[in-house]
Amino acid sequence: MRSKGLIYALNKGGGRINLRGPLPSKKSANQLKVQRISLGLIADENGLKEAEKLLQLVLMQIKHGQFDWKHWRATEKVKTNKPDNIIQSIKSFESNFFLDPIRNKSQAGMKTTWQYAYLPYLRRLIKIANKKDQTLNIELLLETLKSYSENSRSRKQCGTALGAFARHLELQLPEDWGAQASGYGLSQTRFRALPSDSLIKEIWRMIPNPSWKLAYALMATYGLRNHEIFFCDLSCLAKDGDKILRVLPTTKTGEHQVWPFHPEWVKDFELEKLANGSNVLPKVNTSLKQTTLQKVGRRVAEQFRRYKLPLTPYDLRHAWAVRTIHIGIPDTVAARMMGHSVTIHTSTYHHWITRRDQQQAVDAALSKNVTQSIITKI
């Protein structure tokens, strides 16, 4: 196959298919040299069809400057005796994941999402396939999904990851896949234990370090994810600022704006100290060339445990979300401010949303009855 004068070929070696042609140098991505990618596909008709798809993928990556050798080696560290089609299918899925223009909001966010929201479940799929000598099919996906406890967040994330993988492979998922993957959101224990506003303020006073008090206050006031406190435009917190925080594009779900609830907490928690920059926040390595968003977030959670605070960072985020529901902020708006989908928002906070909607219906009915009674008396 020719691409702008360059020749690429699929060769057979040892019963397997290899791709050979001008590929970015491992020392300098700007230079092309003839190299080989071992696709690991069996040299038969089906393997050749898959290899042709992968060749097109390689050409697309080179064209857009997105070819990266690690995308073709990410799963090689996973030891497996399973036929190479599972490993190669995951490689193809990973490459498409990073090329998806809809998902492509920030490289750091995509890497974190792949590493923590997809790869663990694909690794478990490989493990189960090895253990039971299964091939890549819907039965294997279902068994992997069911290896996680019902009503657990892990099971829901597994369902999302394997669902995307199945669509990439053009496998037809069962109609009840979503129901079988259910479990995202708050456990009953955490549902009952969300901190009150007064408790949140009381705990803030308990934190001995001023920098960590500010970090805690940012999460409480704006419902931020752990890592997001270090990736915000804080200039809005100046005395004459509008107090509408901008979460930067380098975060997990890209840029979005957040309003404070409660607005008076900006002053109560002394957040105006952050207006001139984040240099007064805790000294945490946030260089995404050296660390990941996940590790930054983990550092925050570790500090909460070190101070023995009676809540988690995500308790503050959940409490903020429930606050917006009680205030009456539309679910679509609140979901956008939290940087997640409306589906995730409504499933996670279903109880409070249902109660709000029912209360509004009751209030409307009572108001109508009172009005009708007044008219009757007149």
248-305 pLDDT, tens digit per residue, is 988 877 889 999 999 999 999 999 999 987 789 999 999 988 888 888 999 999 999 9
Class of the CATH domain delimited by 189-358: mainly alpha
Residue pair 360/325 in contact (Cβ under 8 Å)? The answer is no
Per-residue pLDDT tens over the stretch 217-237: 999 999 999 999 999 999 999
Per-residue model confidence (pLDDT) at position 83: 41
Lowest mean pLDDT among 158-162, 202-206, 289-293, 308-312: 289-293
pLDDT band (50, 70, 90) for residue 45: confident
Reported as half-sphere exposure (CB side, CA atoms, 13 A), residue 23 has a value of 20
Alpha carbon distance 331, 310 (integer Å) = 28
DSSP assignment of 216-261: HHHHHHH---TGGGGSEE-GGGSTTS---EEE-TTSTT--EEE--S
Q: How far is CA 135 from the centre of its chain?
A: 28
Lowest mean pLDDT among 36-45, 89-98, 294-303: 36-45
Residue pair 214/274 in contact (Cβ under 8 Å)? The answer is yes
Three-class SS of residue 18?
A: strand
pLDDT band (50, 70, 90) for residue 191: low
Residue in 61, 3, 12 with CA at minimum distance from that of residue 36: 12
Reported as half-sphere exposure (CB side, CA atoms, 13 A), residue 361 has a value of 6
Mean pLDDT for the chain?
Answer: 83
pLDDT band (50, 70, 90) for residue 76: very low
β-strands 2-3, 6-7: how paired? antiparallel
Alpha carbon distance 50, 73 (integer Å) = 17
pLDDT at 343 over 90: no
pLDDT at 194 over 80: yes
Two tokens, residue 39? 């696709």
Per-residue model confidence (pLDDT) at position 228: 94
Per-residue model confidence (pLDDT) at position 79: 38
Per-residue model confidence (pLDDT) at position 375: 55
pLDDT band (50, 70, 90) for residue 74: very low
Query: Where are the domain boundaries for CATH 1.10.443.10 in the chain?
Result: 189-358
pLDDT at 210 over 50: yes
- Average pLDDT value for residue range 21-42: 82
Per-residue model confidence (pLDDT) at position 303: 96
Two tokens, residue 168? 């990439």
pLDDT at 71 over 90: no
CA distances for 128 relative to 86, 97, 150, 266, 326, angstroms: 12, 23, 18, 50, 45
Per-residue model confidence (pLDDT) at position 192: 53
- Average pLDDT value for residue range 56-60: 83
Per-residue model confidence (pLDDT) at position 81: 39
Residue pair 123/166 in contact (Cβ under 8 Å)? The answer is no
pLDDT at 41 over 80: no
Q: Which residues pair with 36 in a beta bridge?
A: 20
pLDDT at 121 over 90: yes
Please list the alpha-helical segments (H only) found in 102-238: 107-113, 119-132, 138-146, 153-169, 177-180, 188-193, 197-206, 210-222
Most confident by average pLDDT, 66-70, 75-79, 97-101, 261-265 = 261-265
Residue in 107, 158, 27, 56 with CA at minimum distance from that of residue 293: 107
pLDDT band (50, 70, 90) for residue 80: very low
Residue pair 291/220 in contact (Cβ under 8 Å)? The answer is no
Per-residue model confidence (pLDDT) at position 213: 96
- Average pLDDT value for residue range 314-323: 93
Neighbours of 136 (CB within 10 A): 21
pLDDT at 9 over 80: yes
Alpha carbon distance 93, 212 (integer Å) = 40
- Average pLDDT value for residue range 85-105: 77
pTM of the full structure? 0.57
pLDDT band (50, 70, 90) for residue 108: confident
Alpha carbon distance 226, 311 (integer Å) = 13
Per-residue model confidence (pLDDT) at position 189: 46
Alpha carbon distance 47, 39 (integer Å) = 9
